[in-house]
Structure 1
Amino acid sequence: MDAPRSGTTIRTALPARLDRLPWSSFHWRIVIGLGSVWILDGLEVTIVGAVASRMIEPGSGIMLTAADIGTGAALYVAGACLGALFFGQLTDRLGRKKLFMVTLAVYLVATVLTAFAFAPWYFFLCRFFTGVGIGGEYSAINSAIDELIPARNRGQVDLAINGTFWVGSGLGALVSLLLLDASLFAPSIGWRIAFGLGFVIGLGILLVRRHVPESPRWLLLRGRAGDAERIVDQIEEEVRAETGVELPPPSYEIVIRLRQNIRYRDLVAIAFRRYPNRAVLGLALFIGQAFLYNAVVFDLGTLLSGVFGVSSSAVPAYMAVFALSNFLGPLLLGRLFDTVGRIPMIAGTYLGSAVLVAGLGILLRDGRLTTTWFMVLLLASFFLASAGASSAYLTVSEVFPLEIRGLAIALFYAVGTAVGGIAGPLLFGNFIHSGDLRLIALGFFIGAGAMAVGGLAELALGVRAEGRSLENIATPLTAEEADADPQQQGAIQAAREPARTTEEEHRAARERNMRILRRAAERAADERHGLRAVRPGPGCAFYSPGQIGTAGTTSRWAAASDEAMDREIAAIEGAVEGLGPTRRGALAGYAGGRFWGPGRFRRALRHAVDEGRVQRLSRDSYGPPRGRGTTRRAGADR
């Protein structure tokens, strides 16, 4: 195992190699092995909400009040915050894989012990350590996912994975519905089995995770370039065999300089001095979603029982419907975060949910809500809010450099959740305990205000991260250090532009560069008009506010992205020349567009038509420009 000393520089194309991969079964393994942890988090949160009404009843075996349920929820969140801070630093120091195995083990022990709770203090203690395990998962899992998923799919995949929280939530609600049936289980037994279920599911996830590799990007950071190369070689070999697609050459290389571990105080300095806008944005997004979600989800069971008179045995059914709405939000809207764009979608989901929650609070305060209409408004509000909440984790994991990614996720999750996630359940739980509709409505108004602040922060400070590599969004700190060396810069440029030996290659390169420059000029002219930041569509402004001192580096990755699009346009042009008049769906298949990522085939096809390289024959049919011959392949779909 290679372990170069601090200060050694490594030149590598591994990030570009990972981002160019087409979607394959390897990526599905990442989604299943790592993303399934949110099922556990959803299970934990919903079980408490679903069984809360039973746990405060006589004969439950543990006498809790509605305020105790809120306290337990707050301690769970406090444990998650401290777990994120403690394990977050270890994630960057010891590796993603070690930590997502350790944190899951902590969760397993704590949740099975909760099933044996006999007194409030014991219940509080178990909930705290269960939160510690879940909090540690956030930094390890989100870091690993973002570093292994191709840039073009990252938004959709991240939102879908975070949305699986609600799969666990729905599962917890449905199982609780059965376990709280007094004819099947005694009041003191059913809720205990519900907590034990988390242990069974977590154990299965632990077994699946053994096959998830360490992040090659993290291995590079630790100087283990040989291990990183072997992992990426294996992934590429598997992808080629599965898809039959020949992978294009990596479009850029980076040079990183090995350095010592970064402490929290250094992280804070880096975050708020070098990336002040991104730091404020991360806090606003996390605080907004944490307050609203933790306040409502932890106390929904007692709200339904105490305000609307829903029986404790029927509460899980309402929770299951609530979970379905929340899961559908990121699942159905996730693709739009990669096509319409991060800023309009994040701001829209935050502000839209704020308006709906505020309306719910007004109607509740005036006593004009039935149980049915309360649930209808709640489902609509959280359909949007769930996509927005998932995008908070996506944003923070994207916009900070490789060396501090785990620390950044932990810090912003912990601070944002501590402010919003602890205050929300405590405040809302006591409002519900009072029985005063005006106070309960005030809780909804505060939640709406917190979400509105997050939406406005996204409009003002958001980063157009869709379709861009992580190194493009936030240049690695060590890459910036290496870039200060002119010899290293020359080496990178030489690696990206190898010597050409024929006049034909020279001409092809000149034509490509002219096309890229023309598109860049058109893009710059377009972005000078209107509200560029919220204009729908994948972002192309590769230099973002707060990214100080990285313009030279980011320009290289901007050019790499433009070169990738030029290759995609050329693939469409070649497919049309070979096929003749072809329907759009068949053209995407022959050109390999289904592997490019959300919206990329449509965008490349539009540019090909605008540049006269492809002719649009009808609404759904394309062909070569007039006067250009074809070499039609057999079996083409006309």
Structure 2
Amino acid sequence: MDGSAAGTPAGGGDTVTTDVPARLDRLPWSRWHWMIVVGLGTVWILDGLEVTTVGNIAGRIAEDGSGLSVTAAQITGIAAALYVAGACSGALFFGWLTDRHGRKKLFMITLAVYLGATAMTALSFQPWWFFTFRFLTGFGIGGEYAAINSAIDELIPSRFRGRVDLIINGSYWLGAIGGSLLSIVMLNTNIFPKNVGWRLTFALGVVLGLVIMLVRRHVPESPRWQFIHGHGDEAEELVGSVEEEIEREKHRTLPPPKTKITIHQRAGIGFGIIARTVFTRYPRRAVLSLALFVGQAFLYNAITFGFGNILTTFFDVSTGKTGYYFAVIAAGNFLGPLLLGKLFDTVGRRIMISSTYLLSGLLLFGTAWLFDRGSLDATTMTACWCAVLFFASAGASSAYLTVSEIFPMETRAMAIAFFYAVGTAAGGISGPLVFADLTKSGVVGDTVTAFVIGASLMCAGGLVAAFLAVRAEGRSLEDIATPLSQAAPPDEPVSATTRA
């Protein structure tokens, strides 16, 4: 059965009745929420910077005199696949720790892993070293996805959750713009030698990560995680301080919360319970999650890693100029979630998720047809990709939103990690490897085949969403998927936390 029925909790902790979720959801937007967005959301800028940088500098690192004996195909193929494999592994490893030990501890640790691995990448002297630390960089980024998405959804009020989540995930493309423009400067041999510029590009990613870490220190633990895991007093104190801060900022008293929830506190959830919850209680939601992640993962990990090669192979764009084209594409990607995000909260999840996936897939089919006919040059190809990715970016961001809100609180980070890992492994590891072979052949038909595969998977994801997407707009997380620890339905008003 696919629904929100409460499970029988495994005992061990106190039974607590709390109104913390309702108090968080009824908060108006405030400076405190902006701090959450900046402290947590900026990680996607780092990921965009990483992926785009490698794609744009692949040609330069492969040139003689770069300091590394690798080919462009190895960078966009093997290194890209290892980065994604690391992200999948990191998501699963840190996702389990996030559900068990809290959001805050893990989103500090995962950022530290990313910073260390990126710094080591800049010092690469042999291919094995470069490949190893690309894997470890992905390992940190994958952990970020699980810890950050779960924390954001648990801290943002329900009526803003869709647009905020989409815009934060879409900020990946701000990093992509930065990576594209940065590569133009760093690959200019009149400014930096061949063996220095690409290293400085990675080093600047470390600097940005350190700035984010300073802001992130002030982001609190999720009160929803706290009251389930035996820290009810801390959750109550945190939410109370936030309410006082917002009342001072808005110069008005907040309305009383309308619902409460009673839960059995517990230390952690085993893998067996998580698996049974996701696949036995919510099988339709599991199919939806896999379809969305596989479609967007192949499209983005395959195409993004290889776009520079397409420009240089088929349109004779120099390696030092690809950044300009990619910056334009990245801007289109960011505008999608920015302009369409609000519609996910107003028009609704089902219509918007299915339509963005289907539109991007159909536009990609059209792009493949024009490319096959020889009707495109570098500029018009870029324009086509802007149109495709305007919708695809909003759809891809909604995949993370969907998985982070449709499964119970106790399994949230692990569910994000699992579906990200499986979907990304299917489309993100095989995608770069297949796409590198198709684009390096220099045969138009091979690249068209890659486009058609990506378009087909996006359309398939859109059709699945049309039938299975959950209407989660404006609903509390506890209403969308009842916590496994819930002991009684949240059906009567309450004004303060009480112990049963």
Tell me which interval the TM-score lies in, with the shorter structure as reference length.
over 0.9
Task: Give, in whole Å, the separation in 2 of the partners of 1:493 and 1:170.
Answer: 47
Quick one: which amino acid aligns to residue 245 of structure 1?
A: R
2:30 is matched with 24
1:330 is matched with 337
2:411 is matched with 404
1:275 is matched with 282
Q: Which deviations, in whole Å up to 9, do the C-alpha atoms of 1:277-310 show, x marking residues without a partner?
A: 0000000000100000001111111111112110
Q: Which deviations, in whole Å up to 9, do the C-alpha atoms of 1:147-181 show, x marking residues without a partner?
A: 00000000010011011111111011111111111
2:477 is matched with 470
Q: Which deviations, in whole Å up to 9, do the C-alpha atoms of 1:345-376 show, x marking residues without a partner?
A: 11111000000111111222222221111111
Give the alignment of 1:104-143 within 5 angstroms: 104-143=111-150
Q: Which deviations, in whole Å up to 9, do the C-alpha atoms of 1:318-344 show, x marking residues without a partner?
A: 111111111111011101111111111
Instruction: State whether residues 43 and 172 of structure 1, in contact with CA within 8 Å, keep that contact through their aligned partners in structure 2.
Output: yes
Higher relative contact order (CA 8 A, sep 6+): 2
1:597 is matched with none
Quick one: which amino acid aligns to residue 294 of structure 1?
A: N
Shift of 1:57: 1.5
1:255 is matched with 262
Task: Give, in whole Å, the separation in 2 of the partners of 1:399 and 1:43.
Answer: 29
Unaligned runs of 5+ in 1: 484-488, 499-638
Quick one: which amino acid aligns to residue 33 of structure 2?
A: H
Instruction: State whether residues 151 and 468 of structure 1, in contact with CA within 8 Å, keep that contact through their aligned partners in structure 2.
Output: yes
3-state SS, counterpart of residue 188 of structure 1: helix
Task: Give, in whole Å, the separation in 1 of the partners of 2:267 and 2:234.
Answer: 19
Which contiguous aligned blocks of 4+ residues in structure 1 show a shift greater than 3 angstroms? 492-498
Quick one: which amino acid aligns to residue 484 of structure 2?
A: L
Unaligned runs of 5+ in 2: 1-10
1:8 is matched with 14
Q: Which deviations, in whole Å up to 9, do the C-alpha atoms of 1:6-50 show, x marking residues without a partner?
A: 242110000000000000000000000000111100000010011
Shift of 1:208: 0.5
Quick one: which amino acid aligns to residue 476 of structure 2?
A: S
Cα distance, 1:494–1:348 mapped onto 2, change above 3 Å? closer
TM-score (norm 1): 0.75
Quick one: which amino acid aligns to residue 425 of structure 1?
A: P
Cα distance, 1:229–1:314 mapped onto 2, change above 3 Å? same
Q: Which deviations, in whole Å up to 9, do the C-alpha atoms of 1:534-556 show, x marking residues without a partner?
A: xxxxxxxxxxxxxxxxxxxxxxx
Q: Which deviations, in whole Å up to 9, do the C-alpha atoms of 1:495-531 show, x marking residues without a partner?
A: 5599xxxxxxxxxxxxxxxxxxxxxxxxxxxxxxxxx
3-state SS, counterpart of residue 218 of structure 2: coil
Task: Give, in whole Å, the separation in 1 of the partners of 2:325 and 2:124.
Answer: 26
3-state SS, counterpart of residue 439 of structure 1: helix
Task: Give, in whole Å, the separation in 1 of the partners of 2:248 and 2:107.
Answer: 29
Instruction: State whether residues 230 and 266 of structure 2, in contact with CA within 8 Å, keep that contact through their aligned partners in structure 1.
Output: no
**Match for 2:86 among 79, 82, 86?**
79
**Match for 2:46 among 34, 40, 51?**
40
Instruction: State whether residues 100 and 267 of structure 2, in contact with CA within 8 Å, keep that contact through their aligned partners in structure 1.
Output: no
Quick one: which amino acid aligns to residue 347 of structure 1?
A: S
Q: Which deviations, in whole Å up to 9, do the C-alpha atoms of 1:534-593 show, x marking residues without a partner?
A: xxxxxxxxxxxxxxxxxxxxxxxxxxxxxxxxxxxxxxxxxxxxxxxxxxxxxxxxxxxx
Task: Give, in whole Å, the separation in 1 of the partners of 2:161 and 2:58.
Answer: 36
Q: Which deviations, in whole Å up to 9, do the C-alpha atoms of 1:587-609 show, x marking residues without a partner?
A: xxxxxxxxxxxxxxxxxxxxxxx
Shift of 1:493: 5.2
3-state SS, counterpart of residue 193 of structure 2: coil
Give the alignment of 1:525-544 within 5 angstroms: none
Task: Give, in whole Å, the separation in 1 of the partners of 2:104 and 2:182.
Answer: 31
Q: Kindly tell me the number of residue pairs found equivalent between the two proteins.
A: 485
Query: Which of 1 and 2 has greater Rg?
Result: 1
**Match for 1:387 among 385, 394, 400?**
394
Task: Give, in whole Å, the separation in 1 of the partners of 2:355 and 2:451.
Answer: 19
Shift of 1:429: 0.7
Instruction: State whether residues 230 and 267 of structure 2, in contact with CA within 8 Å, keep that contact through their aligned partners in structure 1.
Output: no
Cα distance, 1:494–1:426 mapped onto 2, change above 3 Å? closer
1:457 is matched with 464
1:51 is matched with 57
1:428 is matched with 435
Instruction: State whether residues 66 and 433 of structure 1, in contact with CA within 8 Å, keep that contact through their aligned partners in structure 2.
Output: no
Task: Give, in whole Å, the separation in 2 of the partners of 1:425 and 1:442.
Answer: 14
2:6 is matched with none
State whether structure 2 residue 408 is matched by structure 1 residue 372: no
State whether structure 2 residue 222 is matched by structure 1 residue 215: yes
3-state SS, counterpart of residue 378 of structure 1: helix
Task: Give, in whole Å, the separation in 2 of the partners of 1:323 and 1:291.
Answer: 17
Task: Give, in whole Å, the separation in 2 of the partners of 1:316 and 1:414.
Answer: 29
Task: Give, in whole Å, the separation in 2 of the partners of 1:298 and 1:241.
Answer: 48
3-state SS, counterpart of residue 10 of structure 1: strand
Shift of 1:66: 2.8
Instruction: State whether residues 93 and 143 of structure 2, in contact with CA within 8 Å, keep that contact through their aligned partners in structure 1.
Output: yes
Quick one: which amino acid aligns to residue 10 of structure 1?
A: V
Cα distance, 1:497–1:132 mapped onto 2, change above 3 Å? closer
1:342 is matched with 349
Shift of 1:401: 0.6
1:237 is matched with 244
1:445 is matched with 452
Cα distance, 1:237–1:302 mapped onto 2, change above 3 Å? same
1:68 is matched with 74
Task: Give, in whole Å, the separation in 1 of the partners of 2:281 and 2:342.
Answer: 30
